[in-house]
Amino acid sequence: MLKLEINWLTYVLDNEWEFSPAGGATGDAYFAQLNDKKIFLKRNSSPFLAVLSAEGIVPKLIWTKRLENGDVVTAQQWLSGRELKPVEMNGENVANLLKKIHQSNELLEMLRRIGKKPIEVDDVFHEVVRNLHPDLLKLDIVNKAIKFLEQEVDNVKTDQNVVCHSDVNHNNWLLSDNDELYLIDWDGAMIADPAVDIGMLLHWYIKKEDWPKWISLYGMELTENLLLRMKWYVVAQTLHLTGWYRSKKKNKEVLHWLQYLQQLL
């Protein structure tokens, strides 16, 4: 391991510990090891990590410490395991854990207490369109997607609001060596239509002919309205990703998501 001179790390743990970056978008996550002790450290994790830990949705929270600048560092159990493979996303364990999350009143109340409001469909639409680069707005497929979203806005509105993870990518699912499944990286948590999570998971990982079976495992029925809501959010997410990669000038990824948008529509 590479020993890193990071002020906040040496503040919460002494210099005998060895640290290594754990990846992630913020760069504020590290693994720490001292002899046989291993923990996962993160700065400014989602404020409802304690509830997620208590519900068994993320690895056990060990302690929380506040830094002098107000930042909060959390230490979690470092589990030996691996991320799920794409082909494993149709498993009953995935359906069961997502159902548990979406049905958790404790998670919902915690998000409400920290000021989260349900995501409105109109706000999603306007934000996605507003953030698109002018070059993308010249493309027929992008305009076709925008037209689809606009036409279906009223048809996808629902009173069904749950805690959504919002990034159920296979690499956010951790399977421990004891076959315990966890969903990690909750920085994008929101109160929204469960179709936000379900749509992404089904469209990205599961064959269409297997959707009814998966939805049955989850505990819902695959209605025409649910199909529409899932598609709507996946199209919106795809437009968002296309715009984000365009802003980063990553043309290969832009082309990938434009092609995926073509498939969706």
What pLDDT is stored for residue 173 in this prediction?
A: 97
- Structural domain count, the chain: 2
Q: Where a domain ends, among 44, 59, 78?
A: 78
Q: Where a domain ends, among 60, 78, 96?
A: 78
* Containing structural domain, residue 45: 7-78
Examine the domain organization and report whether 213 and 254 are in the same domain: yes
Average pLDDT, the chain: 90
Examine the domain organization and report whether 141 and 224 are in the same domain: yes
Whether residue 2 lies inside any domain: the answer is: no
Q: Name which of 220, 261, 194 is nearest 211 in CA terms.
A: 220
Examine the domain organization and report whether 24 and 138 are in the same domain: no
Secondary structure (DSSP) of 226-258? HHHHHHHHHHHHHHHHHHHHHHTT-HHHHHHHH
What pLDDT is stored for residue 32 in this prediction?
A: 87
CATH no. for residue 158?
Answer: 3.90.1200.10
Q: Are 196 and 190 in contact (CB under 8 A)?
A: yes
- Annotation says 167 is catalytic: yes
Examine the domain organization and report whether 216 and 88 are in the same domain: yes
pLDDT band of residue 164 (cuts 50, 70, 90) is: very high
Q: Are 163 and 186 in contact (CB under 8 A)?
A: no
- Report the alpha-carbon angle 44-168-185, nearest 5: 15
Examine the domain organization and report whether 44 and 121 are in the same domain: no
Examine the domain organization and report whether 208 and 246 are in the same domain: yes
Distances (CA, A) of 150 to 132, 134, 242: 15, 18, 18
Secondary structure class of 157 (helix, strand, coil)? coil
pLDDT in tens, 113-144: 989 999 999 999 999 999 999 999 999 999 99
Pair type for strands 181-183 and 81-83? unpaired
What pLDDT is stored for residue 2 in this prediction?
A: 42
Contacts of 127 (CB under 8 A, 6+ apart): none
Give me the catalytic one of 167, 185, 193, 210: 167
Examine the domain organization and report whether 115 and 153 are in the same domain: yes
